[in-house]
């Protein structure tokens, strides 16, 4: 695999102080003068990037913008979220962009607001006063200090009137660096001290000085010309900062803490994040016209006790855009408690009905990993998709029937995929292997392990005389190299109007089978290759014999201009070609 260059830099720690005279908090049981240190907030990221040359390093690579997200938030990459955020930011040459969503009333999270600041240092004359504008973040701990009342979006609603800050950002690299150089606000954005939690062993409250990375926005304000008055609303979209709004479960669902078994609250727990993942999967399956249980129909208590009503997990490489995924996956159904896991990039799913567990894994979903002998040359190169070397799977008119997950098994966790399965249908594709099943029912506990270089096709076993299905499944094995090499089918991508990606399936129709088992196919291919080799050797021997006769004739004639002899086939030896090996 090509190396990917990383730059690591460490968040600094700062002392914790108490509300009692700003005393430092000692560490019990530690050496003298050891004090409690805590992270000083993620706002330090910008100055650290500047001081450690990260901006220069990225600039040397030609990077103009970047996306910032937290590793504890697995949802930020869903569908078009990050592409839309970075696209708006780069196309508009923006300095900073926020990905935002709905926020629960009273939630412990910051809010995104449009700031209008009257610059008090200007002349007192209103006609010469200037105004500054920008999208920014206000932490929930200082809402009241900023004169913001956390009100519902509508009377009786549990949703706040203010959208949530998710800490998913677009940044214009040069503009962020310029803000750092021009203002202390950029170097230490969003300074605050949260003194609401106990900090001392005696229970005394305290806190530490923190900064917030998103408040770099306060150093990126657009300021009007003195005397022009407030900025008209129709010009707000031209500000250097912007906010992009999407559904909450598409952008944020953090897994920061272990759930208390006695507490049904799912906020910031793995169980809650997994439930949001299933709701996103439900939206995707609906777009693919795949029937499935409604995840919202099961209440939280039943979900925690009995597990989810279904599981659908697909490698984002199938899309990652849902518009692309919905062209590869079309129709069918996931029955109650069904489990489907697709760890693959190239798949055609058409009218597949799953009652139980279906697990498809490609060892090389992007093709074989490439190792560059020149490590320096490989550094920074992206992982590439090798269409000729990846595993691929086609399922058309397939039904899967097995006992699936044993939901009564103790200590199982759906979110961590530690599940006990009574039965499952497993497809394992190694290297560039292919699996192609059509119009069959795959019943019971079965595994199909396809080696690299082979294609396994499953078809209904029919009565040769009447053509009626016998209810069994017939295997057809094909050696891909003996069948012409390369994949037997692939997706072709076209970009249409508005940038929409359309897919076409291209396939070879002349691919046959070499046997009804891998052993039989290997024997047939080996026999064919041996026969071909014998024929080639015979032809080579005939060619060498003809050449010897020709040289002998030339010797007798003194090597002059005698006409070459004809072979038995009538062709002159000089013009006859040996067959390709």
Domains, the chain, ranges and CATH?
A: 13-252 (3.90.550.10), 280-375+385-526 (no CATH)
Q: How many CB atoms are located within 10 Å of the residue 130 CB? A: 18
**Which pTM was predicted?**
0.81
Say if CB 79 and CB 93 are below 8 A apart.
no
Write down the pLDDT at residue 406. 95
pLDDT at position 559: 38
The C-alpha atoms of residue 532 and residue 559 are separated, in whole angstroms, by: 37
Burial (CB < 10 A; 0-12, 13-18, 19+), residue 574, is: exposed
pLDDT at 530: 74
200 and 25 in contact (C-beta within 8 Å)? yes
Rounded Cα distance between 252 and 273, Å, is: 9
Identify each DSSP E strand in 363-406 by its residue range. 392-396, 399-401
How far from 87 is each of 63, 93, 259, 457, 520, CA to CA, in Å?
A: 14, 10, 36, 42, 54
Q: Phi and psi for 555 in degrees, rounded to 5?
A: -65, -40
d(C-alpha 17, C-alpha 26), whole Å: 10
For residues 280 and 343, what is the distance between their CA atoms, to the nearest angstrom?
17
Q: Do residues 289 and 317 lie in contact, with contact meaning Cβ atoms separated by under 8 Å?
A: no
Identify the pLDDT of residue 574: 35
List the pLDDT tens digit at each of the 581 positions of the chain: 334 578 888 888 988 888 888 888 888 767 777 888 888 888 889 999 999 999 999 999 899 999 999 888 888 889 999 999 999 999 999 999 999 999 998 888 899 999 999 987 655 666 678 999 999 999 888 888 888 899 999 999 999 999 999 999 999 999 999 999 888 888 888 888 878 788 877 788 888 888 889 999 999 999 998 888 899 999 999 999 999 999 998 998 887 788 888 788 888 888 888 999 999 999 999 999 999 999 999 888 899 889 999 999 999 999 999 999 999 999 999 999 999 999 999 999 999 999 999 999 999 999 876 545 554 554 545 567 888 899 999 999 999 999 999 999 988 889 888 999 999 999 999 999 999 999 999 999 999 999 999 999 999 987 654 555 557 899 999 999 998 889 999 999 999 888 889 999 999 988 888 999 999 998 988 887 777 766 666 666 666 666 655 555 544 444 333 333 333 333 333 333 333 33
Assign 557 to helix, strand or coil.
Answer: coil
What strands lie across the sheet with 357-362, from one edge to the other?
311-314, 339-343, 357-362, 425-429, 446-450
Alpha carbons 490 and 348: distance in angstroms, whole number = 10
Instruction: Quote the pLDDT of residue 389.
Output: 92
Q: Which residue has the tokens 């021997």?
A: 541
Would you say 189 and 216 are in contact if contact means Cβ atoms under 8 Å apart? yes
Please tell me the predicted confidence (pLDDT) of residue 124. 60
Residue 268 to residue 173: CA distance in whole angstroms:
30
- pLDDT at position 570, please? 37
Q: Helix (H, G, I), strand (E, B), or coil: what is residue 132?
A: strand
Strands (E), 251-314: 311-314
> Partners of 413 in the beta sheet?
418
Write phi, then psi, for 576 (nearest 5 degrees).
-85, 135
């Amino acid at each position: 695999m090509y190396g990917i260059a990383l730059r690591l830099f460490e968040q600094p720690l700062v002392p914790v102080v108490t509300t009692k005279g700003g005393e430092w908090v000692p560490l019990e049981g530690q050496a003298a003068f050891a004090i409690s240190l805590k992270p000083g907030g993620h706002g330090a990221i910008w100055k650290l990037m500047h001081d450690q040359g990260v901006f220069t390093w990225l600039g040397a690579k030609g990077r103009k913008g970047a996306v910032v997200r937290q590793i504890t938030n697995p949802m930020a990459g869903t569908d078009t979220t990050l592409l839309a955020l970075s696209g708006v930011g780069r196309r508009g040459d923006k300095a900073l962009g926020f990905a935002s969503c709905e926020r629960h009333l009273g939630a412990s999270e910051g809010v995104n607001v449009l700031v209008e600041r009257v610059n008090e240092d200007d002349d007192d004359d209103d006609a010469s006063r200037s105004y500054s504008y920008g999208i920014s973040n206000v932490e929930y701990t200082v809402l009241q200090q900023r004169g913001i009342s956390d009100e519902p979006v509508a009377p009786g609603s549990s949703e706040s009137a203010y959208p949530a800050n998710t800490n998913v950002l677009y940044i214009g690299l040069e503009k962020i660096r310029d803000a750092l150089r021009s203002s202390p606000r950029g170097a230490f954005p969003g300074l605050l001290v949260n003194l609401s939690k106990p900090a001392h062993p005696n229970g005394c409250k305290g806190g530490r000085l923190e900064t917030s990375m998103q408040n770099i926005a306060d150093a990126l304000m657009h300021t009007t010309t003195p005397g022009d008055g407030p900025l008209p609303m129709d010009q707000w979209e031209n500000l250097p900062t912007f906010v992009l709004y999407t559904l909450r479960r598409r952008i944020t669902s953090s897994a920061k803490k272990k759930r208390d078994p006695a507490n049904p609250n799912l906020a910031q727990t793995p169980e809650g994040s997994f439930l949001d993942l299933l709701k996103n999967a439900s939206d995707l399956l609906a777009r693919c016209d795949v029937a499935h249980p409604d995840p919202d129909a099961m209440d939280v208590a039943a979900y925690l006790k009995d597990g989810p009503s279904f599981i659908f997990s697909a490698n984002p490489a199938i899309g990652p855009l849902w518009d692309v995924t919905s062209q590869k996956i079309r129709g069918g159904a996931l029955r109650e408690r069904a489990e489907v896991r697709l760890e693959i990039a190239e798949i055609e799913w058409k009218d597949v009905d799953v009652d139980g567990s279906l697990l498809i894994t490609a060892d090389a979903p992007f093709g074989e990993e490439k190792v560059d002998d020149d490590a320096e040359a490989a550094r920074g190169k992206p992982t590439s998709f090798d269409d000729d070397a990846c595993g691929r799977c086609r399922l058309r008119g397939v039904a899967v029937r097995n006992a699936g997950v044993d939901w009564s098994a103790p200590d199982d966790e759906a979110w961590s995929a530690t599940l006990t399965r009574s039965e499952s249908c497993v497809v394992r594709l190694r290297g560039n292997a292919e699996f192609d099943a059509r119009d069959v029912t795959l019943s019971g506990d079965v595994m199909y392990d396809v080696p690299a270089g082979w294609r396994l096709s499953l078809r209904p076993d029919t009565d040769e005389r009447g053509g009626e299905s016998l209810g069994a499944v017939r295997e057809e094995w094909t050696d891909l190299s003996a069948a012409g090499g390369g994949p037997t089918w692939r997706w072709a991508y076209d970009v249409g109007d508005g940038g929409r990606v359309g897919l076409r399936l291209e396939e070879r129709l002349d691919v046959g089978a070499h046997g009804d088992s891998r052993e039989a196919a290997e024997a047939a291919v080996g026999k064919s290759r041996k026969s071909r080799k014998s024929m080639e050797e015979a032809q080579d021997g005939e060619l060498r014999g003809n050449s010897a006769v020709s040289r002998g004739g030339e010797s007798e004639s003194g090597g002059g201009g005698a006409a070459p002899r004809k072979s038995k086939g009538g062709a002159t030896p000089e013009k006859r070609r040996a067959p390709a090996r």
